[in-house]
Amino acid sequence: MEINPAINPDGIIDATYCPTDGYIRPAQILKDCLEAATRAGAEFVFGAKELNIIARESSQRKTSG
């Protein structure tokens, strides 16, 4: 309760705490996503006005449904 007073302890049987839980670095996540997208064939043009987005077929990922 001291760490997060918004938590309702009713029904909680056990818990753990680690001071680094939930720690993220947004800039690193963005960098990693850009690198992964580039490896997958995405092209980025920064500072340009978007006029059209062209989706190409990819053999890497198929969805069904």
What tens digit of pLDDT does each residue of 42-64 get?
Answer: 888 888 887 787 777 766 555 55
Q: What is the mean pLDDT of the chain?
A: 81
Instruction: Decide if 56 contacts 46 (C-beta within 8 A).
Output: no
Asked, for residue 39, whether it belongs to a domain, the answer is yes
What range defines the domain where residue 38 resides? 25-49
Torsions phi, psi of 63, nearest 5?
-115, 150
The yes-or-no verdict on residue 2 having pLDDT over 90 is no
Residue 40 — very low, low, confident or very high, per pLDDT cuts 50/70/90? very high
Q: How many domains does the chain have?
A: 1
Q: What is the pTM of this model?
A: 0.45
Asked, for residue 8, whether it belongs to a domain, the answer is no
Asked, for residue 45, whether it belongs to a domain, the answer is yes
Asked, for residue 40, whether it belongs to a domain, the answer is yes
Instruction: Please provide the distance, in angstroms rounded to a whole number, between the alpha carbons at the two ends of the chain.
Output: 44
pLDDT at 60: 59
